């Protein structure tokens, strides 16, 4: 029997309506990853920083005040976010080893969403790309859009010809014999001169395209690269600050009694031309670097603001889960340390904001969470079943009730070459009050370990290792550590 045109039109309309209704029940995800961002933000209590857009996001989100990364370096931290597996599970602690060398069949977070009907798109720095590592094509519905981590506007900051050393490393090219670029730059240029400005424009375009496809929920991962070194930003963001108002850290020496190998002294920073190879930095240079970090943070904040404004303008925010996550913290001269690469508080504590439909907003939570917890949390919020065997635990209940506890501790790691011992792994337990770090070779007897213990109620600046003077606390925290399996021995190249 021949159908009438009106009936066919009606049936098609009903099918489209059903598809749109089904898609509307699936929330969108906007995952914002920020490189090297510590909680020096207005919403976290910093009085100098200008971060109005992140602060506005906090007003519509749950802000986690005790959030921690799983390792304070880019690639392992991002592996933890995207696979739900800690570095000590993967056995990958370096920049250059791709996570699929350890877990070739891993189902990444965006890959799981993709298989369940979301359009997954990544842009900027999501997976760590560089130092031999590559992006993960299986995670994305469309090819990943890259953004350079290192980029300059001023000729004086660059190599006279070709790439600087760090530009080459982040482009997976040989850095042998290449010159070093500047550690910071203030240029009177438009925002889109640098990668984060161009990334914001690209993300806005992706949001507009998503608006035109209401029958297809999106998982959009946007990875801003500032305030990662070099600290480059348009001059107007430097001009937000008076350098005379910045102060050097109160404690500028390593913790008393800490193992000699536990700190580090800025190896990454010393790859830039205007920083000495060894020895202390002058006060003038330290203040310039602190100024640069804040300027780069404000520049990134402005680009994020453009993306969030477009999300609101398009009417997409009401059905979108928004996550802002910093991959790890950063030392700004405390303990005489620069960059990340430690187990200390300034390197491991991260900003984390989660705004989700139907959840609390504009509130803070003191519950302990760690990066691997985001994978199962986003699955629960989206109505997906998380994979078995993940290291993380969903904190969706805390988004409903910010006072709800998540866990009694988090765990993170860092590897070191210890004199006379070779490579050891520092496994750290962080509770609300204490941090215990156990340094030993994976699988070695327990009595070969060295320990650090810090009490953040009595000594928030980590002035002294208390392990020798408080054996009862060490013993208590070791029982918590024993609940975790031994770290898998490193399978990748050494840390730079």
Task: Assign 317 a pLDDT band (cuts: 50, 70, 90).
Answer: very high
Instruction: Specify the pTM.
Output: 0.94
Tell me which residue has tokens 């749950």. Answer: 62
Instruction: Kindly state the average pLDDT of the residues 78-100.
Output: 97
Write the CB contacts of 354 (distance below 8 Å, at least 6 apart in sequence).
61, 62, 64, 321, 322, 323, 377, 399
Alpha carbon distance 387, 83 (integer Å): 10
Check residues 443 and 3 and name the one with the higher pLDDT. Answer: 443
Q: Which residues are catalytic?
A: 74, 128
CB atoms within 10 A of CB 32: 23
With a cut of 70, say whether residue 10 has pLDDT above it: no
H/E stretch holding 12 reads helix 5-24
Task: Assign 6 a pLDDT band (cuts: 50, 70, 90).
Answer: low
Q: Which of 155-169, 212-226, 460-474, 482-496 is least confident?
A: 482-496
With a cut of 70, say whether residue 22 has pLDDT above it: no
Instruction: Kindly state the average pLDDT of the residues 55-70.
Output: 98
Q: Encode pLDDT of 383-410 as tens digits.
A: 999 899 999 999 999 999 999 988 999 9
Which pLDDT score, from 0 to 100, does residue 405 have?
85
Instruction: Kindly state the average pLDDT of the residues 325-330.
Output: 98
Instruction: Kindly state the average pLDDT of the residues 198-226.
Output: 97
Instruction: Kindly state the average pLDDT of the residues 181-191.
Output: 98
User: Kindly report the CA angle at 334 between 426 and 332, in degrees rounded to 5?
Assistant: 100
With a cut of 70, say whether residue 8 has pLDDT above it: no
Which pLDDT score, from 0 to 100, does residue 20 have?
42
Instruction: Kindly state the average pLDDT of the residues 451-460.
Output: 98
Instruction: Kindly state the average pLDDT of the residues 309-334.
Output: 98
* Domains of the chain, CATH where assigned: 26-407 (3.40.720.10), 412-481 (3.30.1120)
H/E stretch holding 102 reads none
**Token pair in block for residue 314:** 């398009």
Burial of residue 143 (CB within 10 Å: 0-12, 13-18, 19+) is: exposed
With a cut of 60, say whether residue 354 has pLDDT above it: yes
Which pLDDT score, from 0 to 100, does residue 4 have?
52
**Token pair in block for residue 483:** 């609940």
Q: Encode pLDDT of 357-377 as tens digits.
A: 999 999 999 999 999 999 999
Instruction: Kindly state the average pLDDT of the residues 153-171.
Output: 94
Which pLDDT score, from 0 to 100, does residue 24 have?
54
Assign residue 50 a region (left: φ > 0; alpha: ψ between -120 and 50; beta: otherwise): beta
Alpha carbon distance 442, 43 (integer Å): 39
Task: Assign 492 a pLDDT band (cuts: 50, 70, 90).
Answer: very low
Instruction: Kindly state the average pLDDT of the residues 412-426.
Output: 95
Assign residue 36 a region (left: φ > 0; alpha: ψ between -120 and 50; beta: otherwise): left
How does the average pLDDT of the chain come out, rounded? 94
Which pLDDT score, from 0 to 100, does residue 65 have?
98
Write the CB contacts of 486 (distance below 8 Å, at least 6 apart in sequence).
88, 442, 443
Q: Which of 12-16, 126-130, 137-141, 256-260 is least confident?
A: 12-16
Identify the CA nearest to 353 among candidates 10, 30, 134, 105.
30
Write the CB contacts of 265 (distance below 8 Å, at least 6 apart in sequence).
336, 337, 338
């Amino acid at each position: 029997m021949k159908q009438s045109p009106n009936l066919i039109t009606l049936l098609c309309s009903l099918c489209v309506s059903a598809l749109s209704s089904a898609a509307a029940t699936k929330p969108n995800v906007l995952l914002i990853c920020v490189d090297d961002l510590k909680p020096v933000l207005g919403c976290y209590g910093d009085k100098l920083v200008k971060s109005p857009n992140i602060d506005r996001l906090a007003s519509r989100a749950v802000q986690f005040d005790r959030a921690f990364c799983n390792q304070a370096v880019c690639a392992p931290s991002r592996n933890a976010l995207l696979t739900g597996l800690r570095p000590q599970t993967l056995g990958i602690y370096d920049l250059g080893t791709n996570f699929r060398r350890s877990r070739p069949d891993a189902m990444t977070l965006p890959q799981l969403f993709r298989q369940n009907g979301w359009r997954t798109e990544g842009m900027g720095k999501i997976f760590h790309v560089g130092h031999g590592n590559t992006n993960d094509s299986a995670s994305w519905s469309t090819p990943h859009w890259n953004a350079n981590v290192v980029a300059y506007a001023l000729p004086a900051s660059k190599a006279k010809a070709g790439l600087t050393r760090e530009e080459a490393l982040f482009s997976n090219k040989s850095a042998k014999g290449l010159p070093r670029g500047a550690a910071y730059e203030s240029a009177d240029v438009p925002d889109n001169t640098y990668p984060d400005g161009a990334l914001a424009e690209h993300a806005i375009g992706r949001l507009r395209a998503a608006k035109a496809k209401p029958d297809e929920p999106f998982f959009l991962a946007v990875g801003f690269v500032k305030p990662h070194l070099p600290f480059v930003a348009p001059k107007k963001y430097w001009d937000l600050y008076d350098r005379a108002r910045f102060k050097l850290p109160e404690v500028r020496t390593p913790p008393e009694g800490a193992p000699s190998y536990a700190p580090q002294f800025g190896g990454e920073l010393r790859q830039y031309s205007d920083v000495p190879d060894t020895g202390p930095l002058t006060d003038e240079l330290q203040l310039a670097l602190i100024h640069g970090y804040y300027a780069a943070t404000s520049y990134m904040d402005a680009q994020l603001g453009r993306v969030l404004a477009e999300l609101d303008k398009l009417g997409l925010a009401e059905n979108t889960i928004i996550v802002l996550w910093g991959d790890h913290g950063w030392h700004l001269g405390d303990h005489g340390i620069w960059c990340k690469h430690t187990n200390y508080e300034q390197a491991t504590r991260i900003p984390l904001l989660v705004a989700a439909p139907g959840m609390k907003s504009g509130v803070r939570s003191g519950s302990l969470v760690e990066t691997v917890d985001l994978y199962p949390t986003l699955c629960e919020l989206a109505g997906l079943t998380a994979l078995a065997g993940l290291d993380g635990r969903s904190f969706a209940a805390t988004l409903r009730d910010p006072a709800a506890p998540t866990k009694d501790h988090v765990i993170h790691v860092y590897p070191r070459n210890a004199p006379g011992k070779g490579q050891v792994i520092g496994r750290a337990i962080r509770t609300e009050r204490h941090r215990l770090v156990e340094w030993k070779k994976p699988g070695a007897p327990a009595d070969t370990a060295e320990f650090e213990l810090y009490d953040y109620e009595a000594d928030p600046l980590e002035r002294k290792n208390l392990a020798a003077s408080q054996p009862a606390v060490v013993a208590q925290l070791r029982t918590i550590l024993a609940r975790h399996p031994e770290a898998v021995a490193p399978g990748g190249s050494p840390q730079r």
